[in-house]
Structures are given as C-alpha cells and as structure tokens.
Amino acid sequence: MFIDIRPSIFKFSKKPEIAAGLHEQTLIKDWQDIVGSIKKSARDKSEALYVNDMGELVVRVRDHLWLQEFAFFKNEIEVEISKNTKIKSVRLIT
C-alpha cells in the first residue's frame, strides 16, 4: 500500500545536503545487511547510530570482544559504505 518515495526525493532534490542526509539514513537502516554481507556472524552484534560532524559513521558494538572482531574487518566495511555515500570512516564504540 505504501510507495517508497526515496528515489523520487533523490532525483528531484535541489539541495545536496538533503540527498546526503537521506543516503546516510539509508545506510543506517541497511547497516545489518552491510555487515552481514561481509561477516554473517557479526550481523546483529552492532548498531549504526548516527553520522557525526566529522563525517564518521558511529557504530555501537555489543561488547569489547566484538569490538576487536570488528576491528579486523573495519576496512572492508569502510570500502562497502564509501561506494554509496561520502562517509569514509567508521568509529566503533562500546
């Protein structure tokens, strides 16, 4: 019944900051799928929170053990998210 209007907003938006904000929110919404495509066991061990003023995606990780695990494949995540957004880095917190 509901129609996804995001493609129309991206297409007709005259303000680039609006389109960038929508890309960021889409990234946060799709975070679990992005992580799951890289490492399935880590899929529900983290949560994307927000993009800070420095353009970093802030992600809360379940605990210190998973923080260490995420550090091993952080570069792969950053490559994946930089394909569709201007976000170049991920900040992991517990």
Reported pTM: 0.78
pLDDT for 57? 94
Does residue 79 register a pLDDT over 80?
Answer: yes
Kindly state the tokens that stand for 19: 């389109």
Pairing of strands 89-93, 56-61: parallel
Rounded mean pLDDT of 29-45? 93
| Domain boundary assignment for the chain | 11-93
Kindly state the tokens that stand for 26: 């889409």
Q: Express each pLDDT in 48-62 by its tens digit.
A: 999 998 889 999 999
> By CB neighbour count within 10 A (0-12 exposed, 13-18 middle, 19+ buried), where does 26 fall?
middle
Residues 89 and 56 sit within 8 Å (Cβ to Cβ): yes
pLDDT for 85? 79
Higher pLDDT residue, 8 or 43? Answer: 43
**Cα Rg of the chain (Å, integer):** 14
pLDDT for 73? 95
What class does CATH assign to 11-93? alpha beta
